[in-house]
A and B are shown apart, each in its own frame.
Chain A
Amino acid sequence: MASDGIVIRTSGLTKTYGKVSALKSLDLEVAKNSILGFLGPNGAGKTTTIKLLLGLARPTRGGGQVFGRDIQRESVEIRKRVGYLAQDPRYDEHMSARETLRFTAGFFFSGPKDAIEERIEETLNLVGLEDKADRPIKGFSGGERQRLGIAQAQVNYPDLLILDEPAASLDPQGRRDVLEVMERLRKYTTIFYSTHILDDVQKVSDTVAILNRGELVAQAPIGQLLAGSGGIVYQVRLTGAGESVQARLAAQPWVTSVAAQPASGQTAWDVAVTDSEAAEDQLLRLILSDPAVRVAEFGRRKYELEEVFLQIVEGGRHGQQ
């Protein structure tokens, strides 16, 4: 582990295939024990980044470190502490889930045999495959394969779990199960996972990085990203003539603008402020001081991740640091 608590650090990490730039000078940091949701549309470079981190592909330029070790020169040492689930996990079809986990564990543990078997059993229980542990994988459904993928990724007690689209092929129940497993593991490990299911990211991630066309366009704690970066905005819905209070608000030194528009028989205000504490203390009181208005809704504006994501990917700058 790097002494500064950073598990993954890339610097100018670049990958080109012929004339196609899959990844353009990626500078990324992932803190210890965080769950980082790695977002991006298809072809954004998410899987390429993961392959570079695992030594499955070589950077064209730049480099990176995992646990303070170089991703090119010390790849095997890095992989001793990593669990990886591929986007479309493939195993030896003639093997059973238990044999697959035994084979995986064989890369990490030499014995004792009983302890290894116990660990395999624990892992099977964790993902709910204990009943199908001895059936050949060729009969597994997509969801069962994905569960097996998670099981094999964490059989070695990894310090870093890298999951490439872990819930992409799952039904809602399977997705929920995967997210639960991730939640359970977060206190032990750092989780770096790519996805395009924004709901999942919002549920479990504490940090988000967004990749678009090979470029990192945003990386921030999810709270910060959802709050937006166009300033602090409060949303107020009210009824009654509010012109005088609107003018009074606009005169406050911590208010930068008040935008009003009609909304279903009410008026919707977006009040942009520079000081959230002053706003929390005074904004609602100021509005209610005018007996001509009645407040129906009041609150700080929060963005849905999908909204933020689309704005960023389509060229907006919400959440960009």
Chain B
Amino acid sequence: MASNSVLQPVRDRGWLHGFGNLVRRENHRWWGTRQWIVQILIWTLIVNGILAMLLISAKDAAAQARNEAVREAISEQQAQQGDAEAAQALQADFPLPVEGVMVFFIFLGMATGVGVAILGQEAIVQEKQTGTAAWVLSKPASRIAFVLSKIAGNALGILVTMVAVQGLVAWVLFRTIGGVSLPVGGFIAGLGLAYLNLLFYLLLAIMLGTLFDSRGPVIGITLLLLFGFQIFTSLAPWLFKVMPWILVMSVGEDTLAYATMLALGQPLPSTLPIIATALWCLVFAGVSLWRFSREEF
């Protein structure tokens, strides 16, 4: 056909053909529409809204306890050293809000997990159902590039809107309402584990999207794994070691979630759940690529 010699052809090769263009499309979906604002608002309200309420009520409770302590100190030891103790009590730091950190990571892992499951099922199944996948793949785009662009685009969107922004807001809430400066390094590491947990569900939903043609099984299985951990671990307690649940959930009364431990500067008892979750992510990505390369439209 008559062509324009000024236009430079795309130089992508092999299995990456079309990847750059497809990633731009995914990024446009996140950042070129209102999606990023909507996601940030939803998760800020849910995750940090609950955290803020918890911190405010904890602060009120702490203030009340402090006042009682002051009153007791004044009444019981006023003659000798009451004034000094009362003054010390009034100036005492707000206690480190372990519960607040714990609740933050639980909601960051579970509530946003629902959002990730929905995004993940839309990534492949919706495109298969509407026919846009067939349209895109009638262009010079490899199927591997198609799946990788879905993973990359959504992983970035989730990282920014569900993890980074929520982490920043939470840190500020702990600082302003709670009066606590969480160790930055540890808190970021905790957020990293929460992100790994979300990647697990994203890749799981994408993989299921390549295996099924309808949304039901994709979202159903993903949510079952997200919320069914108590059932699974009651049947096989060892599953906690090879699944992502312990990254954001507390197990029993004594064990904190790994993300909480890192945020509080505590050492982790084991790295096995982290390694296992990362391996699951790789397996899900591998199966997605394998299955989608065999998909027929």
Contacts and interface: CB of A to CB of B under 8 A. Distances in A.
A112 B130 CA distance: 32
Contact of A76 (B11, B140, B296): B140
B8 interface: yes
A306 interface: no
Given A58-B296, A157-B1, A106 B7 contact: no
Interface residues of B, number: 33
Contacts of A91: 132, 135
B135 A86 contact: yes
Given A56-B297, A94-B33, A158-B1, A108 B10 contact: yes
Nearest to A111: B8
B157 interface: no
Given A86-B138, A189-B1, A119 B7 contact: yes
Contact of A107 (B1, B6, B140): B140
Nearest to A79: B140
A95 B29 CA distance: 9
A116 B131 contact: no
A105 to B, nearest CB: 9
Interface stretch (B18-26, B171-179, B238-246): B18-26
Contacts of B9: 80, 108-110
B80 interface: no
A54 interface: yes
Max chain B C-beta neighbours (<10 A), residue from A51, A76, A189: A76
A106 B24 contact: yes
B134 interface: yes
Nearest to A78: B140
Nearest to A87: B131
A110 B11 contact: yes
B235 interface: no
Contacts of B17: 76
A288 interface: no
Nearest to A108: B10
B135 A89 contact: yes
B132 A103 contact: no
Contact of A90 (B10, B132, B142, B296): B132
A1 interface: no
Interface of B: 1-4, 6-11, 17-18, 20-21, 24-25, 28-29, 33, 130-132, 134-135, 137-142, 294, 296-297
11 contacts: A54-B138, A56-B297, A77-B140, A79-B139, A90-B131, A90-B134, A95-B28, A108-B7, A108-B9, A115-B6, A189-B1
Given A108-B140, A110-B10, A115-B7, 15 more contacts: A51-B297, A56-B138, A84-B138, A90-B134, A91-B132, A94-B33, A95-B28, A106-B20, A107-B18, A108-B9, A110-B8, A112-B8, A119-B4, A158-B1, A185-B1
